[in-house]
Amino acid sequence: MERPELPLAQLHAFAVLAEELHFGHAAARLGIAQPPLSQQIRRLEEKVGHALFSRGPGRVTLTPAGRELLPAARQVLTGLADGLAAARAVGSGEAGHLRIGFAASLALTVLPGLLRAFRDRYPQVRLGIHEMTTAPQLAALHDGTIDIGLLREPPADAPRLAFATVLREPFVAVLPSAHPLAARRTVPLTGLADSPFVLLPREVGPRLHDQITGLCATAGFTPRVVQRAVEWQTVCALVEAGLGVSLAPASIRRIRLRGVAFRGIEPGTARTRVAVAWRRNDRSPLVANLLAMVTHEPPDGP
């Protein structure tokens, strides 16, 4: 047997009348005249096949059929209201799921404050946080695995992606505490020419790697790399173990290791760029809301 369709307007009129038990009061609450309300109830009763209200002089009561329908009608109306509210929240970027990739060193700088501020403003948004270096972030943005990337030294040739600067920070020398230059407040880069180096592999962050080796080249030497490590925490641990020295973004100073000294470098004009990255064609309001909180410079490109 085919089930009759029950228009939402009729269910709404039925639920309001069931609460008011007065056609005049219900019509006023619905913002319509009594005749249209009576017509909606009559059409609904025709679909049900039974009277939903007993009508008497100055008295309206629910019939057994009406009492049976009322909980289901309220459930449908509540579900619709909840669904509309959820859709509005997602449509405005106030709810949903936002996936963020971040370079590990940014957990020492911008990431904690950004996440705290975003959660305070958009508490209904579910955040998926994924630690990854620059190259995997770029791949994840391209294949849609993440929505936002927070990385260092973005590439110049990623036409499907957009970037905006979050901050620029200086470099520091990372030295074993027993290193002769650790006693100084700042270190001339030329003084590191004879020291072995611990660096990140170039493939995990090509532009940052090239920036570091470029600083050395400007100082007149090529760093003698004896060990590579993917994470800055590991780089610092290897420096503490005496395997070599390194150059790193200044935020790395927040990694507290007793046997490591962080010193400013001379010249100290070089800066490493931290950027937010996203897909150019991404129209997600979640992405737009986060970008509004972190970008301080115009996006790269046209």
| 8-91, CATH topology level | Arc Repressor Mutant, subunit A (1.10.10)
Q: How far apart are CA 189 and CA 245, in angstroms?
A: 11
- Look at residue 6 and tell me whether its pLDDT is greater than 80: no
pLDDT tens string 150-197:
999 888 888 999 999 999 999 999 999 999 999 999 999 999 999 999
For domain 95-166+273-294, say whether CATH 3.30.450.40 is its number.
no
* CATH number belonging to the domain at 169-272, selected among 3.40.190.10, 3.10.450.200, 3.10.20.70, 1.20.58.1030: 3.40.190.10
pLDDT tens string 208-243:
999 999 999 999 999 999 999 998 999 999 999 999
- Mean pLDDT (the chain) is 89
Q: Which residue has the tokens 């260092």?
A: 152
Average pLDDT of the segment spanning 72-101: 82
Q: Where are the beta strands (DSSP E) in 45-102?
A: 53-56, 59-62, 95-102
What is the sign, positive or negative, of the torsion defined by CA atoms of 270, 214, 251, 298? positive
Specify the amino acid at residue 28.
Answer: A
Angle at 154 between CA 148 and CA 159, to 5 degrees: 80
Angle at 125 between CA 122 and CA 127, to 5 degrees: 115
pLDDT tens string 96-148:
899 999 988 888 888 998 999 999 999 989 999 999 988 899 999 999 999 99
pLDDT for res 301: 41
Domain extents for the chain? Answer: 8-91, 95-166+273-294, 169-272
Sequence-distant (6+) residues with CB within 8 A of 96 are 89, 90, 125, 126, 284, 286
Angle at 39 between CA 36 and CA 42, to 5 degrees: 155
Widest distance between CA atoms in the chain: 104
Residue 246 near residue 215, CB atoms below 8 Å: no
Q: Which residue has the tokens 């449908």?
A: 76
Sequence-distant (6+) residues with CB within 8 A of 56 are none
Q: How far apart are CA 213 and CA 200, in angstroms?
A: 11
Percent above pLDDT 90 for the chain = 59
Q: How far apart are CA 163 and CA 297, in angstroms?
A: 9
Q: Over the range 156-184, which residues count as b (16 or more CB within 10 Å of their CB) and which as e? A: eebeebbbbbbbebebbbbbbeebebbeb
3-state helix, strand, coil in the chain (%, to 5): 45, 25, 30
- Look at residue 2 and tell me whether its pLDDT is greater than 60: no
> Among 150, 164, 11, which Cα is nearest to 76's?
11
Tokens representing 162 are 């957009």
Rounded to a whole number of angstroms, the distance between the first and last alpha carbons of the chain is 61
Q: How far apart are CA 215 and CA 245, in angstroms?
A: 14
Would 95-166+273-294 and 169-272 be classified into the same CATH topology? yes
Residue 182 near residue 263, CB atoms below 8 Å: yes
Residue 152 near residue 134, CB atoms below 8 Å: yes
Q: Indicate the range of 85-94, 187-196, 249-258, 268-277 predicted with least confidence.
A: 85-94
- Look at residue 298 and tell me whether its pLDDT is greater than 70: no
